[in-house]
Homo-oligomer: A and B are copies of this chain.
Amino acid sequence: MTKKPFGVNLTLLPSLNPPDYAAYARVIAEEGVKIVETAGHNPGPIIAQLKKANIVILHKCTTIRHAKSAIKLGVDFLSIDGFECAGHVGEHDLTSFILLGRARQELTVPFIASGGFAEGRGLAAALALGAEGINMGTRFLCTAESPIHQKIKEAIVHAQETDTALVMRRWRNTSRYFANTVTEAVLKIEKESPSGEFSEIAPFVNGQRGRQVFLNGDIHHGVS
């Protein structure tokens, strides 16, 4: 899609069969990628590997405590993700207004703001609170250049502020998705399952189904 430099995201999630993250990092370095966004659990080894290859690292955090740990691990700057963000919101429900203000007081590296941004006024607010910039993702999904299904673009544009759902809190992996019949099913299991086995919801929240949503245009096919 571009001949210009681009960054790569590497999100380290708890998994039954963890991907070979070290191999991902090796390929990223070999291909000459200059900037990587890391996120998730135990990023230390991957950050060390990427820093050895002189890659600039942006690490994503939902708490000040994690942000401070990431600074110690050598990241160059941070993405501060408020509770309004899509995907993993963390377990502390700290909003951008609170987190950005605290980040400015506590952090020793620059940071950008992530989650809930869709326009210039949001950028201005984030700058006022001390951020150097913002992440904006979902809105770009709706551009003419974006290759996702037209029906999904329309669903995003017509969505209300109440059209997201938080799932997987029970497993301390709380995530914000577009609210649909799949998030309803997950929340029902999450609330009612006596065992609380993650395997009961795994078929609903796997990334394959979520990815299909963008291709087949069916907002109820998976979580995304």
- Whether A95 pairs with B116 at a CB distance below 8 angstroms is yes
- Whether B162 pairs with A63 at a CB distance below 8 angstroms is yes
List A residues at the B interface (Cβ < 8 Å).
63-64, 82-84, 92-99, 101-102, 104, 115-119, 121-122, 124-126, 128-130, 161-162, 166
User: Residue on B with the closest CB to A176?
Assistant: B93
In angstroms, Cα B82 to Cα A63, docked, is 19
- Whether A161 pairs with B94 at a CB distance below 8 angstroms is yes
In angstroms, Cα B109 to Cα A66, docked, is 40
Residue from A96, A125, A128 having most chain B Cβ neighbours under 10 A:
A125
Residue from A97, A115, A122, A130 having most chain B Cβ neighbours under 10 A:
A97
In angstroms, Cα B116 to Cα A21, docked, is 38
Given A92-B162, A162-B63, A97 contacting B84 (CB threshold 8 A): yes
In angstroms, Cα B117 to Cα A101, docked, is 9
**Contact partner, A116, options B93, B97, B126, B166, Cβ 8 Å:** B97
Chain B residues closer than 8 Å to A99, beta-carbon distance: 161
Residue from A64, A84, A118 having most chain B Cβ neighbours under 10 A:
A84
A82-B97, A83-B93, A101-B119 are known contacts; what are 12 more A-B pairs with Cβ within 8 Å? A83-B95, A84-B97, A84-B98, A97-B115, A98-B161, A101-B122, A102-B161, A104-B121, A121-B128, A121-B129, A125-B126, A125-B129
Chain B residues closer than 8 Å to A116, beta-carbon distance: 95, 97-98, 101
User: Residue on B with the closest CB to A166?
Assistant: B93
Output the least CB separation between A166 and chain B (Å): 8
In angstroms, Cα B64 to Cα A35, docked, is 39
Chain B residues closer than 8 Å to A161, beta-carbon distance: 64, 94, 98-99, 102
Output the least CB separation between A119 and chain B (Å): 7
Given A101-B119, A118-B101, A122-B101, A94 contacting B162 (CB threshold 8 A): yes
In angstroms, Cα B161 to Cα A101, docked, is 10
Chain B residues closer than 8 Å to A97, beta-carbon distance: 82, 84, 95-97, 115-117, 122, 125
- Sampled A-B contacts (15; CB under 8 Å): A83-B83, A84-B95, A92-B162, A93-B93, A93-B166, A94-B161, A97-B115, A97-B116, A98-B161, A101-B122, A121-B129, A121-B130, A124-B128, A125-B128, A125-B129
